[in-house]
Structure 1
Amino acid sequence: TWGGSDHPYLDGSGPTHKKSRGLLCQGTLMRFRFIETHRQEFRLDVMCRVLDVTKSGSFTWQRRPTSTRELQDTVLTTEIGQLHATSNGRYGVPSVHAALREQGQPCSRRRVARLMAAAGLKGNDRKKYKCTTNSGHAHPIADDLVQRHVEVEQPDTVWAADLSLLPTREGWLYLSIILDLPSRLVVGWAMRDRLTTDLPLAALQM
């Protein structure tokens, strides 16, 4: 049953709403393009209602001749989709724009962003990670005096130390901290752009 108030897409929670809600912040032309692309997927009256356009306006737009700019956008969108797929979905606007420029495709970054948004494409960055632990060494290993008993009541009796790696716009930064287990307070810390012996010693000295 496609009529009535119990239609699954009329409550604003169905796939029509999810796919098109971002278009409400864009121009009417972009909404009509969305409707034309998804005509076989959703009902016309539902899409017009969700996108806040009229059915007559949609019919009028369909009868108008396609402009050169629109044809160029269609071709460019296809190329953007191919680049995005080749990167396994990792490429965002900057990477796609750079790849297009390398191929000799003249386009602005703003145009790439507009077309990717209309096509529902966005980059999925992999979580930045860098290994800082090397267990395969021949150095002596200190005894575990705590034996995993971290429930300590008296402050300044047990400290724990750790090293973390932080990605920043200027590169990786190494952070060393000394933690007082009973109070959970950081009693010493130090930061360097290189992982050297003096880093944890500086935290301990603090």
Structure 2
Amino acid sequence: MIRFENVTKRYVTDGKVKTVVEGLDLDLPTGRSVALLGRNGAGKSTLLRMVSGATLPTEGRIVTRGLVSWPVGFAGSFHPDLTGAQNCRFIARIYGVDTEELADFVEEFAGIGMHFRLPIRTYSSGMRSRLAFGVSMGIRFDTYLVDEITAVGDAAFRERSDALFATRLETAGAVVCSHAMPQLRRLCDCGIVLELGRAYFHDDVEDAIAHHREIMARLAAA
């Protein structure tokens, strides 16, 4: 469950006040997979960061129940001087899961061979992404946050990644930010459209996609 209680988020950029949402009161049902839609700059990533706790609202509060993930596949929090295995064990301790179980899962899933025991700073971007996705999937969250996830690796790895994530969503919810409508249709059953500081909830993802496309068509016409 994710509850927004009179949530407002503003920030200043180039000397101007930008409002992401204002006075948002909304309950996202437990176990639902929510598509997060909006034009570029509407504040989708900011909203996800608020849900994760990485960014605080300007006013109001967000209440979550259960274990909420960081954005799936995000590799920015790895310590570059620690090995992949050491990073996995560190994250496991933070989230209270078995350290060796998580490390074993990620080593097998990521498939980066001996690099798993080398410092992260020696990794290619693809290896970091594989490791990050493996860690995200290795912890059983109640709600997964997804910000423009891009599968890496060969076709077999991408297929395995899609299948595993779909399995996780059988027993968990998600908030998914993506410009890829087929991905949103595959993963989500409802949606939120952000527009000019307001958030519009649609109980059917197709209605959310239609609303988003109407907004984009108006922008294109203008």
Relative to the length of structure 1, the TM-score reads 0.24
Q: Which has the higher strand share?
A: 2
Q: Relative contact order (C-alpha < 8 Å, sep 6+): which is higher?
A: 2
| TM-score computed with the length of structure 2 as normaliser | 0.23
